[in-house]
A and B are shown apart, each in its own frame.
Chain A
Amino acid sequence: MSEFLQQTLNGLSLGAIYALIALGYTMVYGVLRFINFAHSDVFMVGAFLGYYLAKLVPAATVGGGLLVLAGSMIGCALLGIVIERLAYRPLRRGPTLNVLITAIGVSLLLEYSGQFGFGAAPRTFPVLFPQRDLHLGGLVISSTQVIVIVVAAGLLAALQVIVHRTRIGTAMRALSLNATAAQLVGINTDVVISFTFGLGSALAAAGGILYAMNYPSIDPLMGVMPGLKAFVAAVLGGIGNIPGAALGGLILGLVETFVAGSPWSTYKDAIAFGVLIVILLCRPAGLLGKFRVEKV
């Protein structure tokens, strides 16, 4: 029983991180109908930013940790806005596939520049928050896992508030429903899109820091696999749907963890993708997604 509980905790912690990254994918998709391939690399930049910022604050303190988190989120928000402005905005009028290629280009650029600038060898991510482990019977709960789950939940709640209770959030939702109509009612699409990218990138940065806290080894290619998994999670939950992304992330984290602990652990990735395919076959728009009926 304690093994089951332990695995559940492990799965939730992993799932929370996937959820955070998935949120960024899903937000950008909801507003722009486009998969931002560079998102996973903003995640990586966030972790590296945290690595360098952590040198400026005292180690293992709550205040220091929060400062690093905030600093990294702001830095990556700016990065996301810059990328959007330079690489994506000129292509907004054309077919989405072109922006996709540009996104791939940005992703590769960030990865290889990272390898060039930071070197390919992994670095140790410093301890940000004070670490304590709780032992409950056979169950081991590390403070890092708890922080990850709490922060992820907090950011998700904050995101829901922004999207549903603020003017800019309403503007984002309007844009995702119908971009032309949104413009007609006076919404400045450029500002809203920039804001969406900034917000998504900030979430990616948070995901990067939490990921690095949990697995303290960072390198320029660290975003590739989590990014892919998070993308799968976003689609699983229904891409464009914020609670769906969170749900997808949690499901994927749990499935992966339980499979990894089972005799079929070598097929872990295949099973995760298999679950995705099965769910999409039953619900072609994802778990919480709305299937858009095309009017002729």
Chain B
Amino acid sequence: MPFAPSRYLWPLAALLTLAGPVAAQDVIKVGEVASMTGKDAAFGQSSHKGTIFAIEELNAGGGVLGRQLDLVTEDNQCKQGESATAARKLISRDKVVALLGEIASSRSLEMAPIAQASHIPMISPGSTNPRVTTIGNYVFRVCFIDPFQGTVMAKFARNTLKLQRVALLTSVSSAYSVGLAKYFKEVFVRGGGAIALQQTYAEGEKDFKAQLTVIKAAGVDGIFVPGYYTEAALICLQARELGLAVPIFGGDGWDSPPLIEIGGQAVEGTYYSDHYSATNTAPVVQDFVRKFRVRWGGETPDAMAALGYDSAMVLADALRRAGTTAAPQLRDAIAATKDYPGVTGTTTIDAERNASKAATIFEVKGGQSVFVESIAP
């Protein structure tokens, strides 16, 4: 059957839109690379909601430097290599003044060399692996890094929960999980504790009974699960089913409403560290939560959304302080961010271009995340 020419018209039209250079002087273009589809789409969709909400809020308030912000979002489908192509396209075709992204450290590592080489500032909302910001002085992040969080949880486990022998249950396919576990172990052992055993799983898995059965037999007094809420909820459920009543705790990857929805009774009495919680009574947070719910049909923002929001707001703040969109000045302004009142905590960008902010420990009580203590860097 011969080709219908109409099949070519549509992609041709799309190609034509690519051909013309984009030149709008009265708009500030900001690029975003997020995983909107694919296996980690839950995180990317969430951070995108936060980011675009921030942009909308800024525009409603008159924009930045007297101009409206235009967020150009590119999806990387959680595929290796796509973030780099997306970053390249945003920089050379869309001529963005800055890049926001990504959540996953491996994908940020794809974008960072390109941003650095093009001298375009890049702010990662949620990549916690230390390597990301070492790529160059144009790469920043608004979240804390794994070594800090691992230390926080280790100190909490030793000093507050008074745990002696802990089991680690890490996701072998997630650099975040492996990194966090490594730093936790270092500090926990240095503080006099012992890691009784280490079990692993891979992301996307649903059955942890095998690993938990071994942990139960080892007789530990706590389990550290430095993974994401998608698995953490099921892990808690299955642990309780097997009769494991010891404290289970984790990191900021736990924070998302489905943790409590799916985990139900099983996550009561568990702990996790985070920079943000929707139940934080601070006015700036409650304000954000309320307005976010209105914007997104009642949905409560999770940590990724809050980080996405803050990454855009920190950028806007830097733009205002720089007074220009020129890259070197913008970069310096971002680096000079001090005590910015973000919804994920008072944020200061330190000399390594990481965010210096306190971590908060939460306990799940009565179906809510309740503040336990705050640990400053």
Contacts and interface: CB of A to CB of B under 8 A. Distances in A.
Per the CB under 8 Å rule, do A and B touch in the complex? yes
Interface of A: 3, 6-7, 10-11, 14, 112, 115-116, 119-124, 133, 135, 140, 142, 211, 214-217, 219, 221-222, 224-225, 256-262, 265-266, 268-269
Contacts of A133: 241
Given A10-B213, A217-B230, A124 B258 contact: yes
Nearest to B257: A121
21 contacts: A3-B216, A3-B217, A10-B209, A10-B213, A120-B42, A121-B42, A121-B45, A122-B230, A122-B262, A133-B241, A140-B241, A142-B241, A216-B237, A217-B206, A221-B39, A224-B39, A225-B204, A260-B207, A260-B210, A261-B211, A268-B202
Contacts of B262: 122, 124, 216-217
A116 B38 CA distance: 10
B183 interface: no
A215 B207 CA distance: 7
A122 B202 contact: no
Contact of B205 (A3, A124, A225): A225
Nearest to B208: A260
Contacts of A112: 37
Contact of B46 (A115, A121, A222): A121
Contacts of A224: 39, 204
A121 B40 CA distance: 9
A271 B73 CA distance: 40
**Nearest 4 A/B pairs, CB to CB:** A120-B41, A215-B206, A260-B210, A261-B210
Interface in B149-207: 172, 199-202, 204-207
Name the prevailing secondary structure of the B interface residues. Answer: helix
B206 A122 contact: no
Contacts of A216: 234, 237, 262
A120 B237 CA distance: 21
B219 to A, nearest CB: 12
B261 A10 contact: no
Nearest to B243: A140
A6 B241 contact: no
B37 A6 contact: no
B210 A219 contact: no
A259 B205 CA distance: 14
Interface in B221-264: 230, 233-234, 237, 241-243, 256, 258, 261-262, 264
Given A3-B216, A115-B41, A124-B258, 6 more contacts: A122-B262, A124-B264, A221-B38, A225-B204, A260-B201, A261-B199
Nearest to A3: B217
Contacts of A261: 199, 210-211, 213-214
Contacts, number: 100
Nearest to B211: A260
A251 to B, nearest CB: 15
Contact of A7 (B199, B213, B230): B213
Given A7-B210, A10-B207, A122 B199 contact: no
Given A140-B243, A219-B42, A211 B206 contact: yes
A122 B232 CA distance: 12
Contacts of B256: 121
Which residue of B201, B210, B211, B217 has the most chain A CB atoms within 10 A of its CB atom? Answer: B210
A256 B205 CA distance: 12
A121 B211 contact: no
A266 B230 CA distance: 19
Contacts of A120: 37, 41-42, 44-45
A266 B200 contact: yes
Nearest to A9: B209
A215 B258 CA distance: 13
A93 B241 CA distance: 52
A135 B243 contact: yes
Nearest to A259: B210
A142 B213 CA distance: 14
A116 B200 CA distance: 31
A278 to B, nearest CB: 21
Contacts of A116: 37
A219 B40 CA distance: 11
A202 B262 CA distance: 26
Contact of A266 (B46, B172, B241): B172
Contacts of A225: 204-205
B234 A257 contact: no
Which residue of A215, A258, A262, A268 has the most chain B CB atoms within 10 A of its CB atom? Answer: A215
A10 B241 CA distance: 12
Contacts of B234: 215-217
Nearest to B204: A225
A214 B206 contact: yes
A11 to B, nearest CB: 8
A214 B207 contact: yes
A13 B37 CA distance: 31
B79 to A, nearest CB: 13
A10 B210 contact: yes
B60 to A, nearest CB: 26
Which residue of B208, B213, B261 has the most chain A CB atoms within 10 A of its CB atom? Answer: B213
Contacts of B217: 3
